[in-house]
């Protein structure tokens, strides 16, 4: 056993002790929350004066096992740090969400997705076991064979069934480069048909496909980005500075070829937070030249967004120009691929937001996960859209409209942002009965927030 591995285990054990000490230091009637300054959630919440749990020792990689292709990881370790630990071994998590600041525990309890999800499902499906601090103040190990009810209910519970303090995950081998074929389509229906074929065969023109996502710029301009791993050396593109990845996708020909290192491919969306850096002026050529490269990142834009929301800067500027306030429409939804062209066409005709992101998904598991019950053996497409629209006559008018449309198409909406469901509808969509059974067993005194309270009532 190497000294660094021993040190990491010792540090993690000390972190778990501090976490438990901070739990038992809370008053018996206090709501249990984590003490953390940042979040990848995009919904407002009530402010609480209660102290949070000490997570200071739960941010690292505990151990990478290259032979077994597994990693033991602390719950609040970011994917940036996790990938930095695995890539030197030629390994990566099966699904690496798009933003460096997303934590492994956050992706498992709040879901995550990326361009390997058409073959590797969602991050929680590659979790072999996890240690969870429950609302009752116990750290228990959950796996498919031990506390299996908690293991399966944990995904999409958003910290309301406990907090993952250690996760053991599967890893996969990766090569040094990714060759990208960017295919242009003139109708959404043609794009979806091509996507469906690639998902079914995992090949394009008899070439293996390792990564698959897409971007819609308009009804008649959309692209599939088809990636294949490669070990062949050669020139690569760089989208961490003046060049912007999503703009590089657009072209007039039927196909364009690009190459990235595996590191830069995994983080291709982080530099500009997909395309949302434009809201901060970061894509203007002059600003781009003087903006320090190390601050071209989702972490920077997240901090700027939190400042904007704290001081209501956007709505103040809209009012100054005589325009109505803006409603935030920051959502990811999963729609069956057979209905996705219908949804995208509807969205483009009713919601003034482009570009939008497309990412196909198939569960690895043969059983549905109760709190986000996608149908096994069915292909879904994650549709991501992140912007604002003018406010309507009622609170969340556009978000509510999208929720209804997604439900009509037998889809689901991720819960990291604003939601407006009734309690009855929420329970029917997000496994209410299974969720309440897990809460009764693992949080009998209700120390943690209820899921509906957290994601809809925003407590």
Assess if residue 12 is contained within a domain.
yes
Render the burial of 277-304: b for 16+ CB within 10 Å, e for the rest: bebbebbeeeebeebeeeebbbbbbbeb
For residue 394, what are the domain limits?
312-420
Q: Quick check: helix, strand or coil at residue 222?
A: strand
| Total H helices, total E strands in the chain | 16, 16
Q: Is residue 320 domain-shared with residue 446, that is, in the same domain?
A: no
Dihedral through CA 273, CA 363, CA 333, CA 142, nearest 10? Answer: -80
- How far is the C-alpha of 121 from the C-alpha of 379, rounded, in Å? 10
Assess if residue 426 is contained within a domain.
no
Q: What CATH number does residue 338 fall under?
A: 3.30.70
Q: Is residue 28 domain-shared with residue 163, that is, in the same domain?
A: yes
Assess if residue 358 is contained within a domain.
yes
Assess if residue 160 is contained within a domain.
yes
Given this model, what pLDDT does residue 310 score? 80
Given this model, what pLDDT does residue 1 score? 43
Q: What CATH number does residue 147 fall under?
A: 3.30.465.10
- The number of domains in the chain is 2
Query: Facing residues of 255 across strands?
Result: 183
Whole-model pTM? 0.94
Question: Would you write out the chain's pLDDT as a tens digit for each of its 459 residues?
Answer: 455 667 899 999 999 999 999 999 999 888 888 876 555 566 555 555 467 899 988 999 999 999 999 999 999 999 999 999 999 999 999 999 999 999 999 999 999 999 999 999 999 999 999 999 999 999 999 999 999 999 999 999 999 999 999 999 999 999 999 999 999 999 999 999 999 999 999 999 999 999 999 999 999 999 999 999 999 999 999 999 999 999 999 999 999 999 999 999 999 999 999 999 999 999 999 999 999 999 999 999 999 988 887 877 777 777 777 788 899 999 999 999 999 999 999 999 999 999 999 999 999 988 899 999 999 999 999 999 999 999 999 999 999 999 999 999 999 999 999 999 999 999 999 999 999 999 999 999 999 999 999 999 987
Q: Is residue 339 domain-shared with residue 369, that is, in the same domain?
A: yes
Q: Is residue 46 domain-shared with residue 137, that is, in the same domain?
A: yes
Q: Is residue 378 domain-shared with residue 450, that is, in the same domain?
A: no
Assess if residue 156 is contained within a domain.
yes
Q: Is residue 39 domain-shared with residue 164, that is, in the same domain?
A: yes
Q: What six digits make up the tokens of 11?
A: 């540090």
Q: Is residue 390 domain-shared with residue 445, that is, in the same domain?
A: no
- How far is the C-alpha of 85 from the C-alpha of 87, rounded, in Å? 6
Q: Is residue 99 domain-shared with residue 24, that is, in the same domain?
A: yes
Assess if residue 228 is contained within a domain.
no
Q: Is residue 332 domain-shared with residue 445, that is, in the same domain?
A: no
Q: Is residue 33 domain-shared with residue 149, that is, in the same domain?
A: yes
Q: Is residue 73 domain-shared with residue 103, that is, in the same domain?
A: yes
Assess if residue 446 is contained within a domain.
yes
Q: Is residue 100 domain-shared with residue 166, that is, in the same domain?
A: yes
């Amino acid at each position: 056993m190497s000294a660094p591995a021993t040190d990491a285990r010792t540090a993690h054990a000390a972190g778990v002790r501090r976490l438990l000490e901070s739990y038992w230091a809370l008053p018996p009637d206090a709501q249990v929350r984590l003490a953390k300054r940042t979040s990848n959630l995009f919904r407002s919440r009530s402010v609480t004066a209660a102290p949070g749990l000490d997570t200071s020792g739960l941010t690292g990689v505990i151990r990478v096992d290259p032979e077994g292709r597994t990693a033991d990881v602390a719950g609040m370790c970011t994917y940036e740090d996790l990938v930095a630990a695995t890539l030197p071994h030629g390994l990566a998590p099966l699904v690496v969400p798009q933003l460096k600041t997303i934590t492994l525990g956050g992706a498992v309890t709040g879901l995550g997705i990326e361009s390997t999800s058409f073959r590797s499902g969602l991050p929680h499906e590659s979790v072999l076991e996890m240690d969870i601090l429950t609302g009752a103040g116990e750290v228990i190990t959950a796996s498919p064979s031990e506390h299996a009810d908690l293991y399966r209910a944990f995904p999409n519970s958003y910290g309301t069934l406990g907090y993952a303090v250690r996760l053991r995950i599967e890893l996969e081998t990766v090569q040094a480069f990714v060759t990208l074929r960017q295919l242009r389509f003139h109708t959404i229906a043609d794009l979806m048909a091509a996507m469906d074929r690639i998902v079914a065969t995992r090949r394009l023109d008899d070439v293996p496909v390792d990564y698959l996502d897409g971007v819609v710029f308009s009804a008649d301009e959309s692209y599939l980005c088809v990636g294949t791993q490669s070990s062949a050396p050669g020139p690569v593109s760089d989208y961490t500075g003046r060049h912007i990845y999503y703009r590089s996708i657009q072209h007039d020909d039927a196909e364009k070829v690009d190459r990235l290192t595996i590191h830069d491919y995994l983080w291709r969306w982080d530099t500009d937070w997909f395309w949302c850096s434009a809201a901060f002026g970061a894509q203007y050529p002059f600003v781009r030249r003087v903006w320090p490269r190390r601050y071209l990142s989702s972490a920077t834009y997240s901090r700027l967004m939190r400042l904007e929301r704290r001081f209501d800067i956007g709505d103040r500027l809209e009012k100054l120009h005589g325009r109505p306030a803006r409603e935030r429409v920051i959502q990811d939804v999963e729609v069956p691929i057979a209905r996705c062209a219908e949804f995208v066409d509807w969205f483009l005709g009713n919601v003034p937001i482009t570009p939008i992101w497309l990412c196909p998904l198939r569960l690895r598991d043969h059983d549905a996960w109760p709190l986000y019950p996608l149908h096994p053996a069915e292909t879904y497409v994650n549709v991501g859209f992140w912007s604002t629209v003018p406010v309507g006559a009622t609170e969340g008018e556009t978000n509510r409209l999208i929720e209804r449309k997604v439900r009509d198409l037998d889809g689901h909406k991720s819960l990291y942002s604003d939601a407006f469901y009734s309690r009855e509808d929420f329970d029917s969509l997000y496994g209410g009965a299974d969720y309440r059974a897990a809460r009764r067993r693992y949080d009998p005194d209700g120390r943690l927030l209820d899921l509906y309270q957290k994601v809809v009532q925003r407590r």
